[in-house]
Amino acid sequence: MIRRLSQARERGIPEATVARLPLYLRALNGMAERGLATVSSEDLAVAAGVNSAKLRKDLSHLGSYGTRGVGYDVEYLIYQISRELGLTQDWAVAIVGVGNLGRALANYGGFVSRGFRVAALLDADPEVVGDRIAGLNVEHIDELETVIRRRGVSIVVLATPAAAAQQVADRVVAAGITSILNFAPVVLSVPEGVDIRKVDLSIELQILAFHEQRKTDRMTGGPAMAEEWPEAVDL
Amino acid sequence: MIRRLSQARERGIPEATVARLPLYLRALNGMAERGLATVSSEDLAVAAGVNSAKLRKDLSHLGSYGTRGVGYDVEYLIYQISRELGLTQDWAVAIVGVGNLGRALANYGGFVSRGFRVAALLDADPEVVGDRIAGLNVEHIDELETVIRRRGVSIVVLATPAAAAQQVADRVVAAGITSILNFAPVVLSVPEGVDIRKVDLSIELQILAFHEQRKTDRMTGGPAMAEEWPEAVDL
DNA sequence: CCCACTTTGTGCATCGGTTCACAAAGGGAC
DNA sequence: GTCCCTTTGTGAACCGATGCACAAAGTGGG
Ligand SMILES: NC(=O)c1ccc[n+]([C@@H]2O[C@H](COP(=O)([O-])OP(=O)(O)OC[C@H]3O[C@@H](n4cnc5c(N)ncnc54)[C@H](O)[C@@H]3O)[C@@H](O)[C@H]2O)c1
Ligand SMILES: NC(=O)c1ccc[n+]([C@@H]2O[C@H](COP(=O)([O-])OP(=O)(O)OC[C@H]3O[C@@H](n4cnc5c(N)ncnc54)[C@H](O)[C@@H]3O)[C@@H](O)[C@H]2O)c1
């Protein structure tokens, strides 16, 4: 029987769901390696660290791929999620800014594993340009447009200093890129239609610090309520 | 006049707000450097890339620190947000797993700038132990408990391979740590009360790929509807 | 001192996302 | 074929977050 496309398919998958699909995919891959043929929403939910009702609702947005009384076919679900995420094609990624972080990313194996391929490394520093890292030549940022076109790059990872990030982002966007992963601690401004995701270590640590402070406050009997502004600063 | 503590203070700041405070703080620091004394919610919102009503509501959770008709005092607001986030104290951070990524993190300057201090580097590989990185000796993972206690570490950054992450997390938690930033692509299971934040490159790329696919699909006239499962796989 | 102007702080409607709970679907035993 | 058991898919209630819109508060000018 040809499976009916649920009306949910095509008509926008919720953003929160999209963000969890890679998690399910990772859990499923682990299960496939261990030779499991089917999995229940309950088991998969546990492996992915989410609630099983949420998992079922998420999957229902892709279509009706489970079998009541049985669960989901592991391989089939891997294929469906991969396809939905666009991982059945391979994506050429360029890393701009080959410093501490850029090098770590370039050398990172887990990158390649799932549809992503580092296709170019670019930097502005003549000292760095020409270096061979993870089998790739570091090219000069002046070549940006050419490299993007020639290698079919569609995702750019920004690992330059904060001061250069906006300027590089502008060039990258002008070159036709619409997907950017930004590691620099700045709010990038880009035109409508360009997707930016950011990874910000410092923000993550600050959020942890906030909660950590709450925990220790609670133990030591609450924060020092008095101290609001140590030396009264005239507003 | 002593400022009244709003009832919102102390009684839980929304998680979404907490996640944005570091953003406001960063924008404010930039403004302070440029010598601005006060800022309106509108200007600050633009600098932080959010809606101004949201910004005002966020700040209102900390207290009533603005002046109608004028805006917010930059220095004062920096202090209030810093205090709320717990950045007026300094936090000792340990990095476990000193490979590609761990090294980049250890060498990262922006780390120290705001209340965080890398206090220890730990690894299991005898080849790596003893290396001097960013002025710190890499210590053996066996010393974990001692190092955490002696240096007053309260936040641990996990940069080990995925396979080791859960095991290391267990030890770290047993040593009394309740805040972990995890770079390994695994769902860590930890007891109630332990906060985990994760940074997952691969997930970010997959989310970008999803949207990128949608964009190109739209241009090429929608996805190939027929192909649902290339070679019918028997369920 | 009053008035016009600016900008905050928030009540309220709305929205997206989560969770519960259950009817419907399918499998397997006999 | 019938019955029982398991598990999906989803309606509906709920919850937190967002954004509009405006009254209240404060500034500065005359
Ligand atoms: N290293 C980390 O662990 C870490 C963690 C979090 C965030 N970050 C952020 O990631 C970014 C990179 O960090 P890093 O430690 O690798 O810095 P880095 O200084 O080691 O490397 C930056 C690289 O970008 C290059 N560059 C500068 N301007 C450029 C331009 N216009 N075009 C192309 N390349 C340019 C430099 O030549 C250098 O090689 C920074 O914004 C940093 O704040 C780094
Ligand atoms: N490098 C990247 O750009 C990148 C990006 C995203 C995610 N990650 C993830 O970050 C983690 C680290 O990546 P990497 O590239 O630095 O890997 P790596 O192999 O270069 O480094 C891992 C380090 O952890 C150490 N280690 C192993 N077991 C340990 C244990 N039980 N206790 C303490 N240390 C132990 C190893 O000796 C090694 O030095 C991995 O989980 C990886 O998937 C890395």
CATH number for the domain spanning A196: value is 3.40.50.720
In eight-state DSSP terms, residue B10 is T
Boundary residue ending a domain (A27, A61, A85): A85
- Edge-to-edge order in the sheet of strand A71-73: A38-39, A71-73, A66-67
Question: d(Cα A80, Cα A77) in Å, to the nearest integer?
Answer: 5
Inside any domain, residue B3: no
| Phi, psi (deg, nearest 5) at residue A188 | -85, 140
How many domains, in total, are found in chain B?
Answer: 2
Question: A9 or B97: whose pLDDT is higher?
Answer: B97
Tokens 């966007």, residue located = A173
Shortest CA gap B73–chain A (Å): 7
Inside any domain, residue A233: no
A142 lines ligand 1 (CB under 6 A): no
My answer on whether A79 and A26 are in the same domain is yes
CATH code, domain carrying B65: 1.10.10.10
pLDDT per residue as tens digits for the range B164-222: 999 999 999 999 999 999 999 999 999 999 999 999 999 999 999 999 999 987 777 65
My answer on whether B101 and B76 are in the same domain is no
Question: B3 or B225: whose pLDDT is higher?
Answer: B225
Q: Answer for the pair A205, B85: CB distance below 8 angstroms, yes or no.
A: no
Inside any domain, residue A213: no
Task: Give the residue whose CA is nearest to atom 29 of ligand 2.
Answer: B124
Q: Tell the burial category of A93 from Cβ atoms under 10 Å away from its Cβ (0-12, 13-18, 19+).
A: buried
My answer on whether A174 and A109 are in the same domain is yes
My answer on whether B48 and B22 are in the same domain is yes
Rounded to the nearest whole angstrom, what is the distance from the C-alpha of residue B98 to the centroid of ligand 2?
7
Residue B81's alpha-carbon distances to A173, A174, B50, in angstroms, are 34, 37, 17
- Edge-to-edge order in the sheet of strand A116-123: A132-133, A136-140, A116-123, A91-96, A153-158, A179-182, A195-198
Q: Which residue is nearest to nucleotide D16 (CA to C1')?
A: B14
Is B98 annotated as ligand-binding? yes
All residue ranges of chain A with pLDDT < 70 are 1-11, 113, 221-235
Residue B195's alpha-carbon distances to A191, B108, B181, in angstroms, are 35, 23, 9
Q: A202: which residues sit within 8 A by CB, 6+ positions away? A: A185, B22, B110, B111, B113, B114, B116
What is the token pair recorded at B64?
Answer: 């009533």
Q: What's the half-sphere exposure (Cβ side, CA atoms, 13 Å) at A37?
A: 5
A138 lines ligand 1 (CB under 6 A): no
Does the beta-carbon distance from A79 to B189 stay under 8 Å? no
Is B51 annotated as ligand-binding? no
My answer on whether A108 and A152 are in the same domain is yes
Q: Nearest nucleotide to A60 by CA–C1' distance? A: D9
A105 lines ligand 1 (CB under 6 A): no
In eight-state DSSP terms, residue A8 is T
My answer on whether A53 and A97 are in the same domain is no
Quick one: which ligand is closest to B202's CA?
Answer: 2
- Residues B20-26, mean pLDDT to the nearest whole number: 98
B208 CB neighbours in chain A (<8 A) are 155, 179-181, 195, 197
Residue A3 is predicted with a pLDDT of 34
Q: Answer for the pair B155, B89: CB distance below 8 angstroms, yes or no.
A: no
My answer on whether A118 and A136 are in the same domain is yes
Is B97 annotated as ligand-binding? yes
Boundary residue ending a domain (B60, B85, B110): B85
Percent of chain B with pLDDT over 70: 88
Boundary residue ending a domain (A33, A54, A85): A85
Give the Cα-Cα-Cα angle A64, A66, A70 (nearest 5 degrees).
155
Question: B117 or B219: whose pLDDT is higher?
Answer: B117
Inside any domain, residue B213: no
Does the beta-carbon distance from A114 to B206 stay under 8 Å? yes
Whole-number average pLDDT of chain B: 90
Helix (H, G, I), strand (E, B) or coil at B196: strand
Q: Answer for the pair B119, B93: CB distance below 8 angstroms, yes or no.
A: yes
Inside any domain, residue B65: yes
Shortest CA gap A142–chain B (Å): 25
Inside any domain, residue B212: no
Q: pTM of the full predicted structure?
A: 0.92
My answer on whether B96 and B142 are in the same domain is yes
My answer on whether B73 and B31 are in the same domain is yes
**B91 confidence band (pLDDT: 50, 70, 90):** very high
**In a mutagenesis test of the B interface, which of A103, A202, A216 is the best target, namely the one with the most B β-carbons within 10 Å?**
A202
Q: Is the pLDDT of residue B235 over 50?
A: no
A182 lines ligand 1 (CB under 6 A): no
Q: B191: which residues sit within 8 A by CB, 6+ positions away? A: B173
pLDDT per residue as tens digits for the range A48-67: 999 999 999 999 999 999 99
Domain hosting B127: range is 91-201
pLDDT per residue as tens digits for the range B126-178: 999 999 999 999 999 999 999 999 999 999 999 999 999 999 999 999 999 99
My answer on whether A131 and A192 are in the same domain is yes
In eight-state DSSP terms, residue B188 is -
Inside any domain, residue A221: no
Residue B217 is predicted with a pLDDT of 75
The gap from C-alpha A143 to its chain's centroid, in whole angstroms, comes to 26
Q: Is the pLDDT of residue B233 over 50?
A: no
Residue A12 is predicted with a pLDDT of 86
My answer on whether A125 and A66 are in the same domain is no
My answer on whether A108 and A170 are in the same domain is yes
Rounded to the nearest whole angstrom, what is the distance from the C-alpha of residue A100 to the centroid of ligand 1?
7
Inside any domain, residue A33: yes
Rounded to the nearest whole angstrom, what is the distance from the C-alpha of residue B63 to the centroid of ligand 1?
37
Helix or strand holding residue A207 (H, E): helix A201-219
